[in-house]
Structures are given as C-alpha cells and as structure tokens.
Structure 1
C-alpha cells in the first residue's frame, strides 16, 4: 500500500531563521531513499492574528510502508532529522496508509 509520512512542524521561535533553512531541509528530504514525491507547505496565517496550530507540513510519499520505514532508518534520514533538529523545530510525524489519490 502507498504510504505517506507527514511531518507537522510547530511554530518556530525564529520564523525567519527557520525559513532560511527550509530549502536545505527539502533537499535533504528528497535524498531519502525511495521517496516518490515530496510536498512542502506553509500553514496560512489565521485571519484573526492568533497563532496557527503549526508552521509547516512536509509530506513524503512512498510506494509502501516498508519503503517509508527503511527511509527513516538510514544515514540520509540521520542527515535530514539532524538538520531539522538543529533548527530547534519540534514536530509530529505521522505514517499514513494512502487510501485514494
């Protein structure tokens, strides 16, 4: 079954510094083995000016759960998650079974 990993990235303390790192983070994510597609998205600001529930999402698509699991266990994942951690960002990761496209 196709599998998607979604990273929900919380609001950073320094938005500009975090945004400066996004291109590198995306390239490191693209280097994960067996990634078929990648989507990086920035959460729209709320109209009332209150903080958003998250700052960004990153969706990584794989052909299977096994491919996704292997991708986050390799050296490329260490580089990606190390760079993400170095930004000070906190995040939630979800593995999802894609039911329809």
Structure 2
C-alpha cells in the first residue's frame, strides 16, 4: 500500500496580517502534533506574475504510511485542535484533500 497525503489548501485570507500572526502557533505547531506522520511539508504560494494573488495562499501536507493511518490520525484530539483553529483562521476559505501518493519522493 502506498502513502496517503492530507493536503490543506488555504485560500487568500481576508486579513493576511492577522492570518500570518496566528499561522505558526495555531496551524503549523498544531499540525506537527497530529500523530502518525511520516513527513510534513508547509508552503506559501507565489503570487501570479503580475503580482496579483494566486487562488491559493498557503498549503500544509501531512504524509501517512497508508490510508488507514491517515483516517486514524484525523480522529485524534490533536487533529481536533488543528481543525478547530483551521476553522477560525481560514477566513478566505479552505480545501482539504486526502490522496493516494502514486509516486513517492525518492
């Protein structure tokens, strides 16, 4: 069985400064505490070439050994704390995907 990845895509917040001031403590640190991860990535989306915002703002990727492990992880109290903060901070919208990693990083 291949890895499973949970991707959180934050759309552009209504107040980027407020989002950034809370992001590290309320999202990154909370995401790192969700158990069972084999890898963690966080990224900020580049603006378009003309300087205008892209449709997405930031992303967090949480990698798990398999689908079952990812499903267990999202039911933990640590995940609950992460998702509660996510609801408060993602003022511009958010998308969450769970996907099968078909080609893993070498």
| TM, length-normalised to structure 1 | 0.92
Which of 64, 73, 94 is matched with 2:97 structurally? 94
Task: Please identify, of 7-16 and 68-77, the stretch whose mean Cα deviation from structure 2 is larger.
Answer: 68-77
Moved over 3 A (4+): none
Q: Does 1:85 align with 2:87?
A: yes
Distance in 1 (CA, whole Å) between partners of 2:21 and 2:69 is 29
**CA root-mean-square deviation:** 1.1
Question: What are the ranges of 5 or more consecutive residues in structure 1 without an aligned counterpart?
Answer: none
- Tell me the alpha carbon deviations over residues 41-97 of structure 1, each in whole angstroms, 9 at most, x when there is no partner: 000011213321110011000001011111111211110011111214321111111
Aligned pairs, how many? 101
Distance in 2 (CA, whole Å) between partners of 1:66 and 1:94 is 15
